[in-house]
């Protein structure tokens, strides 16, 4: 396999065997970025010099016997929504185009402490408030499987960096779909952890009660390695669960035989036939490996969609001052959305939050009847940048946003391709704080199918 498409454990083993250095891996990634990114536009900022410094330090440490674990010396990328000390952090917005934070977001600091090498900051939808990665200030990002297509969003740059072999893993954020749907569009793994499991301190907020930080990677184990590094309580984040998560998320072995997989066809399987066909075949594969599929139902799912729209009013709070003082620093699209959010009534918002409590409890109870749920990640594939279907936003977000709303852990894993050669993701969702179980199921599926070994021809 090409070294740039290796797994983290693969290059880690090579590094520890003395066959490659972190510096060489970093140079390889930087060369890939130089070669491919003029076309793909995954990065807003490339931190080549500091990356090489950090890689040399990692090599030095390893020579001296200091091993920080599986991320030691591994080049990674971070969505430009995470504060990085001394490195411009734009949020994909004109508002922050000149902002150079004096601190790292907690997740970035933890990755650095774990030895990871930051290659740069990846592009995204303006302020992460959208389902594509078409950005009026930093340009559109291109899908490596079909460069006329969008890679999904808002964490499109992170997804493209990983899918195209320009980074071994990346951080994204997921408020409605923004880790898992780009993972689906780009044929990689994207995990949205349980709400509160990973600190959001130092990440530009979008919708407080729905924002999540999560990893994008080329295998479930690689995603789990990143999650291991970033999970855990953080007093700097009032939304941190406080629950200390001492489990490792790696190498949880799940046998598909005997596993109860919940399937909610209503809502989750309403979508474009090409995607549904691929996911149905994936369900057949689960069944043939011994999993038992259980048809389940979630009531009130239409009301949940309406409630999610009300809860986006939170975005208007964060930007109310800038909307008033610097309206020209927003695109018409995002300004329009924020103005709509401001017009939501307080009683509708509160009713939505109240509904959310009961709905979340009802979803949690489903996991008494199954180990995990399996659904399409999205019910539409990556769309042409210049020609998105009218129902794109609906089909790109309706399955993922439900679990941003409830907070349940949810991972998208590659499960095949449509006839047009675009990737499709299968999403496993589990009970609150059962990130390990969800990743374990995704790993078992991945190992029996091998779809994650397909890479774009770049």
Smallest gap from residue 84 Cβ to a second copy (A): 23
The reply to whether 79 belongs to the active site is: yes
Q: Which two tokens stand for residue 428?
A: 């496993």
Using the minimum distance from each CB to a second copy, give the nearer residue, 100 or 350: 350
Measured in degrees and rounded to the nearest 5, phi and psi for residue 191 equal -120, 125
Smallest gap from residue 44 Cβ to a second copy (A): 28
Using the minimum distance from each CB to a second copy, give the nearer residue, 233 or 277: 233
Cα 139 from Cα 44, distance rounded (Å): 10
Smallest gap from residue 431 Cβ to a second copy (A): 11
Q: Do 250 and 440 touch, CB atoms closer than 8 A?
A: no
Using the minimum distance from each CB to a second copy, give the nearer residue, 52 or 344: 344
**Beta bridge partner(s), residue 174:** 212
In this structure, how many other beta carbons lie within 10 angstroms of the beta carbon of residue 50? 15
Strand 372-376 relative to strand 260-263, pairing: parallel
Using the minimum distance from each CB to a second copy, give the nearer residue, 98 or 321: 321
Helices 332-342 and 313-325: angle between axes, nearest 10 degrees: 120
Cα 429 from Cα 225, distance rounded (Å): 19
The reply to whether 154 belongs to the active site is: yes
Smallest gap from residue 196 Cβ to a second copy (A): 11
- Per rule CB under 8 A, count of chain residues that contact a second copy: 24
Smallest gap from residue 437 Cβ to a second copy (A): 18
Cα 298 from Cα 364, distance rounded (Å): 10
Site string for a second copy, 431-450 (x = CB under 8 A): --------------------
Smallest gap from residue 357 Cβ to a second copy (A): 3
Angle formed at CA 109 by CA 108 and CA 113, multiple of 5 degrees: 120
What SS3 class is residue 152? coil
The reply to whether 178 belongs to the active site is: yes
Q: Where are the beta strands (DSSP E) in 274-314?
A: 292-295
Interface with a second copy includes 208 (CB under 8 A)?
Answer: yes
According to CB under 8 A, which one of 34, 266, 354, 454 is a site residue for a second copy?
A: 354
Enclosing H/E stretch for 213: strand 212-217
Cα 286 from Cα 256, distance rounded (Å): 7
Smallest gap from residue 353 Cβ to a second copy (A): 8
| Non-local CB neighbours of 24 within 8 Å, separated by 6+ positions | none
Using the minimum distance from each CB to a second copy, give the nearer residue, 37 or 341: 341
Distances (CA, A) of 51 to 277, 307, 404: 43, 43, 33
Cα 325 from Cα 409, distance rounded (Å): 38
Exactly one of 22, 79, 285, 401 is catalytic; which is it?
79
According to CB under 8 A, which one of 139, 358, 384, 389 is a site residue for a second copy?
A: 358
Q: Cis (ω within 30 of 0) for the bond into 154?
A: yes
Using the minimum distance from each CB to a second copy, give the nearer residue, 30 or 213: 213
Smallest gap from residue 203 Cβ to a second copy (A): 14
Interface with a second copy includes 239 (CB under 8 A)?
Answer: yes
Using the minimum distance from each CB to a second copy, give the nearer residue, 208 or 417: 208
**Beta bridge partner(s), residue 192:** 410
According to CB under 8 A, which one of 122, 175, 360, 410 is a site residue for a second copy?
A: 360
Q: Do 425 and 291 touch, CB atoms closer than 8 A?
A: no
Site string for a second copy, 311-350 (x = CB under 8 A): --xx-xx--x---------------------x-xxxxxxx
**Got the DSSP string for 300-367?**
THHHHHHHHHHHTHHHHHHHHHHHHH-GGGS-HHHHHHHHHHHTS-HHHHHHHHHHHHHHHHHHHHHT
Exactly one of 22, 154, 241, 312 is catalytic; which is it?
154
Considering only 22-30, 79-87, 139-147, 356-364, which stretch makes contact with a second copy by CB under 8 A? 356-364
Site string for a second copy, 269-308 (x = CB under 8 A): ----------------------------------------
**Helices and strands in the chain: count of H runs, count of E runs:** 14, 13
Smallest gap from residue 349 Cβ to a second copy (A): 5
Interface with a second copy includes 16 (CB under 8 A)?
Answer: no
Q: Do 44 and 138 touch, CB atoms closer than 8 A?
A: yes
Considering only 118-126, 164-172, 359-367, 383-391, which stretch makes contact with a second copy by CB under 8 A? 359-367
Using the minimum distance from each CB to a second copy, give the nearer residue, 139 or 358: 358
According to CB under 8 A, which one of 86, 139, 238, 421 is a site residue for a second copy?
A: 238
Exactly one of 93, 155, 178, 241 is catalytic; which is it?
178
Cα 383 from Cα 185, distance rounded (Å): 9
Measured in degrees and rounded to the nearest 5, phi and psi for residue 265 equal -75, -40
* Residues making contact with a second copy (CB under 8 A): 208, 235, 238-239, 313-314, 316-317, 320, 342, 344-351, 354, 357-358, 360-361, 365
Catalytic positions, please? 79, 154, 178
């Amino acid at each position: 396999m090409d070294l740039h498409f290796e797994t983290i454990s693969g290059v880690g083993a090579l590094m520890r065997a003395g066959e490659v250095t972190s510096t060489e891996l970093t140079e390889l990634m930087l060369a890939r970025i130089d070669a491919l990114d003029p076309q793909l536009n995954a990065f807003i900022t490339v931190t080549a010099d500091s990356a090489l410094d950090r890689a040399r330090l990692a090599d030095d440490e390893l020579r001296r016997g200091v091993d920080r674990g599986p991320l030691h010396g591994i080049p990674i990328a971070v969505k430009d929504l995470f504060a990085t000390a001394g490195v411009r952090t734009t949020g994909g917005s004109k508002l922050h185009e000149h902002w150079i934070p004096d601190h790292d977001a907690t997740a970035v600091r933890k990755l650095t402490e774990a030895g990871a090498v930051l290659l740069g900051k990846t592009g995204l939808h303006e302020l992460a408030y959208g389902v594509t990665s078409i950005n009026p200030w930093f340009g559109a990002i291109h899908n490596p499987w079909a460069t006329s297509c969008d890679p999904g969003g808002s964490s499109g740059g992170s997804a493209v960096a990983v899918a195209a072999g320009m980074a071994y893993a990346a951080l994204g954020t997921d408020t409605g779909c923004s880790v898992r749907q780009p993972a689906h569009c780009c044929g990689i793994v994207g995990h949205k952890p349980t709400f509160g499991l990973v600190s959001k301190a130092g990440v530009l907020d979008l919708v407080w009660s729905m924002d999540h930080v999560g990893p994008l990677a080329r295998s479930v184990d690689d995603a789990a390695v990143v999650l291991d590094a970033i999970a855990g309580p953080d007093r700097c984040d009032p939304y941190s669960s406080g629950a200390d998560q001492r489990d490792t998320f790696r190498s949880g072995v799940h046998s598909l035989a005997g596993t109860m997989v919940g399937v909610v066809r209503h809502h989750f399987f309403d979508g474009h036939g090409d995607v549904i066909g691929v996911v149905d075949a994936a369900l057949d594969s689960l069944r043939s490996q011994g999993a038992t599929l259980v048809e389940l139902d979630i009531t009130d799912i239409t009301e949940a969609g309406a409630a999610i729209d009300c809860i986006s009013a939170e975005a208007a709070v964060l930007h109310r001052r800038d909307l008033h003082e610097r309206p020209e620093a927003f695109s018409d699209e995002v300004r329009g959305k924020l103005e709509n959010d401001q017009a939501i009534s307080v009683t509708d918002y509160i009713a939505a939050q109240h509904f959310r409590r009961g709905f979340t409890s009802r979803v949690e109870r489903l996991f008494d009847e199954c180990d995990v749920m399996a659904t399409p990640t999205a019910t539409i594939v990556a769309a042409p940048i210049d020609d998105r279907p009218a129902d794109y936003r609906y089909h790109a977000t309706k399955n993922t946003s439900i679990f941003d709303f409830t907070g349940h852990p949810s991972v998208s894993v590659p499960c095949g391709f449509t006839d047009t050669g675009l990737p499709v993701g299968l999403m496993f969702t589990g009970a609150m704080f059962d990130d390990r179980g969800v990743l374990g199921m995704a790993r078992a599926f991945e190992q029996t199918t091998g779809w994650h070994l397909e890479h774009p021809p770049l």
